[in-house]
Amino acid sequence: LQFTEEKLGQAEKTELDAHLENLLSKAECTKLWTEKIMKQTEVLLQPNPNARIEEFVYEKLDRKAPSRMNNPELLGQYMIDAGNEFGPGTAYGK
């Protein structure tokens, strides 16, 4: 009821404690990075057959495939980026 009244402008917005706001922000960030890393882990464990076919065709044509990060490199980069965002002093950052 409070939320609805706030949205309709009939009640003052509830002010949250700064510490709680910080925790909510960290929780959202953790959720986003965890989902991103989990999705990339699934891609790594169940590779796309089209990507394998593309590699096979380039190999048979004696041509070099376009340079881009492969799945293990991309997962590693996500882990590094997440660690940097959380900082080395956190369990997630380590």
- Tens-place pLDDT, residues 50-77: 777 877 787 778 777 777 788 889 999 9
Q: What is the mean pLDDT, run by run of 10 residues, along the chain of 94 residues?
A: 61 72 91 95 83 77 76 92 91 84
Distance CA 85, CA 56 (A): 37
pLDDT of residue 32: 95
Q: Which two tokens stand for residue 30?
A: 């953790």
Domain ranges of the chain: 22-62, 69-93
Choose among 94, 85, 89: nearest CA to 30.
85
